[in-house]
Structure 1
Amino acid sequence: MKQDLSLLIQALDSSISGIILTDNQQPDNPIIYCNRAFEHITGYNRQEIIGHNCRFLQKEDRNQKERQILRKAVEEGNECVVEIRNYQKNGTLFWNELYMSPIKDEDGNVCYFIGVQNDITRRKKAEQELLHQQEIMESQIRERTKSLRESEDYLSSIVQTVRESLVVLNPDFKVLSVNDHFLKTFKVTKEETEGKLLYELGNGQWNIPKLKELLENILPTNNPVEEFEVEHDFPHIGKKLMLLNAHRVELEGQYKDRILIAIEDITDRREIERRKDDFLSIASHELKTPLTTIKGYVQMMQRLLPENVSEKFKDILKKTGLYVERLNTLIAELLDVSRIQTGNIELHTEPFDFDKAVYEAVENIQSATKTHQIIIRGKGSNNYSGDESHIVQVVNNLLSNAIKYSPESGEVDVYLSRVSNFIKVSVKDSGMGIKVEDHKKIFDRFYRVGEIQQRFPGMGIGLYVCDQIIKNHGGTLWVESEPGQGSTFSFTLPLERNPNDK
């Protein structure tokens, strides 16, 4: 039996079609298996796929009628075939021919679904080109190309006004042109630059190992390079920290095979960020000690209250303790941000009962709130190796947010599950929801959605800290939400971690 299963997995991994299994017995029908071809087709790795619903492949393209067909087939337990627009991890569109079939148990209940996927982008492209009269389109493209060539001087003047250093290279890395911003930033002239090999400029000041890696190893894969960070100490102008965006431009005629590099000098910006982080770190540490003392005095006053003290005084003292505790939590989060930015956050990894820790966290939050009912269901694992306090911190933060941002809803759902060799935790609220374009941004530090910022106080660091904690455990944290439809925050954690994973 074990040999047959191993042979089956080998066969599936050898298939050129992408194959997935989803668990219809769990909420939202999460993916529990994918073969190597599916990873190759989508550009995602297994860690980023397991636990998600298949809809994440459509990204913001949510209005396709094929999604309704798939949803209906899942609800009715039927098979179906659709051709749907999907997007790879890097954002590239590909057409997916999906064959989906239910897997039923002995009683006829649908337990799982199997999906077989093929990339039919080329076929769809050919069909679309025929439908839109290929000859007419090519004629229009030729006319536009001619127009662009005639406007070369105009475009060149625009390039010169860009407040980024721009460099154009030929395939042998010889400089064909640079804009004025490059000349001013690196204190060189056109005569010293154009026509010269990039690595030989300024007595070898551009002979930078990381730049060579970009040009000679990464860029030839035909993928654009974005925000490639390079730090170098240049003669005469000093140390520079730069973000490089590089594209290989392939056109016809005299502009064939060009490499365009945009260089953004972020030296000053990074220094400002460093000073801000230093300030936050110092301020947080300096506030921690007096706040601890204040907290101690408030607790002492609460214990030593005379019997005849007024209810108003008791209420004031209780509120004081509450606000001191909130301030203490905020300072703790700021310290976490500081440790993350400096790379000093430490994980104390030990085995613990994961389910018990989550249930206790829910119980503690529930005892502190009278406005919401927290419903927890499912099981993940009784034995997980990680930093228990940090994991509980993530759960507490997600629960607190669910309560905070859904004031008119009286219920929060928490679901624990085991998805393949991952633990999955989901926290669902019925609050105001989040726009699709903000889904990734909310995990950036100090980022707050406009409408939320107006209605609810906060600094926008809680989700950033949660995201970093989950990443440090080798997992992923994401949100599924639409305005007015509430939000579901989920994270997965691998039960077995590769020692090389970060």
Structure 2
Amino acid sequence: MSDLLNIYIQALDSANSGIIITDNTQRDNPIIYCNKAFEKITGYSHDQIIGHNCRFLQAQDRSQDERFLIKSCIEQGKDCRVEIRNYKKNGKLFWNELYISPVKNEKGEITNFIGVQNDITDRKKSEHELREEKSSIEKKILERTKELVESEAFLSSIIQTVRESLLVLDTNYIVLSANNHFLNSFKVSKEETVGKLLFELGNHQWNIETLKELLTKILPTNNPVIDYEVEHVFPHIGKKVMLLNAYRIEFEGQYKDRILIAIEDITEKKETDRRKDDFLSIASHELKTPLTTIKGLIQILQRMVPPDSSDKFENTLDKVAMYVDRLNDLISDLLDTSKIQSGNIELHKEEFDIDSAIAETIDNLSLAAPNHTITLNGKTGVAIMGDELQISQVLNNLISNAIKYSPGSDKVDVYISKVGNFVKVSVRDYGMGISAQDKSKIFERFFRVRDIQKKFPGLGIGLYISHEIIANHNGTLWVESEIGEGSTFSFTLPILNK
């Protein structure tokens, strides 16, 4: 039977169509299997797909009628065929021809759904071009736009106006144009640059292996290179840290195929960030020592409270202890942030029972927040290889945030389930929700939503630390949220294979 199963899996992985299987018995119908073609079509890796609901491929494009048709068919257990707009990991739109079919057990209950998808972007593009040709007005606009794009003067004016180093190359990586910002930044002349092979510029100082790999391996696949960091020592200007963006642009006519490279010099920014990190690390360490002493002295005072002392005296002492603990937690978070930035965060990986760890963390938080009901749903019965203390720290942070940012609600739901070879943990609150714009930055260091900054104290490092901890455990952390409808933070962790 196992040999036959392996054959089936090999057959699915060799298929040209993207294939997924979801578990309808679990909350939110998560993906538990995907084949290689699905990874290739979407740009996501297997680990980034497992545990998600299929709707994550629509990103913020959620008003499509096809989404409601899919939802209706799943609820009714019917077959479904739709053509829907999806988005790759890099944000690029692709049209998906999707077939969905339910799988039933002996009792007639739907246990799974099978989804088969094909990228029909080229077909949609052809249909669109055909419609364009039928419209004379749109055709004139296209012709005018084409003339404008093909104008060398127009292209040159754009390149010279942008306050960033820009290069235009042909398909053989010969420099066709370089703006003044590039020439001034890298101390070269136009004669030394235009008409030369990029990798031979400045006596081969641009013969950078990572840059060559980007241009020769990634760009030919029509995938853009976005915010790729390159560090290089140039003979005349010294060490530079650059942020590269490269695009392969296809035109008709004279400028048939071009490569546009934008280069941002972030050397000073990197150095400034390094100094900030050094200061953060030193300051946190220096604050930790006296604070530990203060905490110890307060504990001594609490044990030496005179029998005839007033309630106000004891309450004041307790408040001082509470605020010292808060300050201690804040400094600990700053130290964790510093360790993450320097790559010195330590993982003490051991085998542990994830169900017990989750339950224990929730029990402790329930005692600390008696006015809120924290409900645990599900169990996995599996073990994890990781740092139990750090995973508990992540869950503690997510639940604490759920309580903190839901002032009008007194409940938090925690879900744990097994999805494929991963454990999925979700924390759902019923609070204010997060906008689409803020969701893209929510895990950045020191980022805080503007409205939240005014109402709630904090530095915005808890989610950053949590994201890095989960990443160091080979898992993923993400959020699904709508303004006014609360948020659900979820993370996956690989199951220990014995």
TM-score, with length taken from structure 1: 0.95
Residue in structure 2 matched with residue 495 of structure 1 by the alignment: 495
For 1:322, the equivalent position in structure 2 comes to 322
Instruction: Please list, as runs of the form range in 1=range in 2, the aligned pairs for 1:48-59 lying within 5 A after superposition.
Output: 48-59=48-59
2:356 aligns with: 356
Change (3 A) 1:435 1:367: same
State which drifts further: 226-235 or 133-142.
133-142
Determine helix, strand or coil for the equivalent of 1:442.
coil
**Any conservation in 2 of the 1:205–1:234 contact (CA below 8 Å)?**
yes
Query: Matched residues in 1 for 2:248 and 2:101: separation?
Result: 42
What is residue 276 of structure 2 aligned with on the other side? 276
Counterpart of 1:447 in structure 2 is 447
Does 1:119 pair with 2:119?
Answer: yes
SS at match of 2:191: helix
Range that drifts further, 88-97 or 330-339:
88-97
Does the Cα contact within 8 Å between 1:474 and 1:497 map onto a contact in 2?
no
Identity %: 63
The structural deviation recorded for 1:460 is 0.9
Residue number in structure 1 paired with 2:4: 4
Cα distance between partner residues in 1 of 2:199 and 2:16: 42
Q: Distance in 2 between matches of 1:8 and 1:217?
A: 32
**Corresponding residue of 1:368:** 368
Count of residues in Structure 1 that have an aligned counterpart in Structure 2? 497
Whether the aligned pair in 1 keeps the contact of 2:150 and 2:255 (CA below 8 Å) is no
User: Any idea what SS the aligned residue of 1:191 has?
Assistant: coil
Partner residue of 1:147?
148
1:325-336 pair list within 5 angstroms: 325-336=325-336
TM-score, normalised via structure 2 length: 0.95
More deviation in 310-319 or 253-262? 253-262
Secondary structure of the corresponding residue to residue 111 of structure 1: strand
Letter in 2 for 1:199: F
Q: Mark the CA change 1:179 to 1:103 in structure 2 (over 3 Å): closer, same or farther.
A: same
- How many Å apart are 1:217 and its aligned residue? 2.9
User: Is the deviation greater in 110-119 or in 289-298?
Assistant: 110-119
CA 462–297 in structure 1, closer or farther in 2 if over 3 Å, else same = same
1:124-174 deviation digits (Å, cap 9, x = unpaired): 333333344456445532222213445x43553343232211112223322
Contact 1:374 / 1:411 at 8 angstroms: preserved in 2? yes
Shift in CA distance, 52/338, structure 1 to aligned 2, threshold 3 Å: same
Cα distance in 2 for residues equivalent to 1:218 and 1:131: 32
**Structure 2: stretches of 5+ with no match in the other structure:** none
What CA distance in whole angstroms lies between the structure 2 residues aligned with 1:400 and 1:365?
Answer: 8
Are 1:468 and 2:468 an aligned pair? Answer: yes
Separation in 2, partners of 1:309, 1:420: 60
User: Aligned to 2:254, what secondary structure does the other structure show?
Assistant: helix
Q: After alignment, is 132-141 or 380-389 more displaced?
A: 132-141
How far apart, CA to CA, are the structure 2 residues paired with 1:213 and 1:38?
25
| Worse overlay, 302-311 or 357-366 | 302-311
CA contact (8 A) 1:167 1:175 kept: yes
Contact 2:80 2:100 in 1 (8 A): yes
Q: Which runs of 5+ in 1 are unaligned?
A: none
Task: Give, in whole Å, the separation in 1 of the partners of 2:125 and 2:172.
Answer: 33
* C-alpha contact 2:86 2:96 (8 A) present in aligned 1: yes
Q: Which residue of 2 aligns with 1:483?
A: 483
SS at match of 2:459: coil
Q: Secondary structure at the match of 1:210?
A: helix
Shift of 1:91: 1.6
For residues 410-436 of structure 1, the C-alpha deviation after alignment (integer angstroms, 9 at most, x for no partner) is: 100001111111011000000000012
Per the alignment, in what secondary structure is the counterpart of residue 61 of structure 2? Answer: coil
Shift of 1:497: 7.9
Question: Could you say which residue in structure 1 is the equivalent of 2:286?
Answer: 286
Maintained 8 Å contact 1:381/1:423: no
1:86 and 2:102 equivalent? no
Within 5 Å, give how 1:304-319 maps onto structure 2.
Answer: 304-319=304-319
Segment drifting more, 211-220 vs 332-341? 211-220
In the alignment, which residue of structure 2 is the partner of 1:103? Answer: 103
How much has 1:214 moved relative to structure 2? 2.4
Q: Which residue pairs with 2:219 in the alignment?
A: 219
Distance in 1 between residues matched to 2:430 and 2:176, nearest whole Å = 57
Deviation at 1:37, TM superposition (A): 2.0
Aligned residue number for residue 398 of structure 1: 398
Indicate how the Cα distance of structure 1 residues 125 and 183 shifts in structure 2: closer, same or farther if over 3 A, else same.
closer
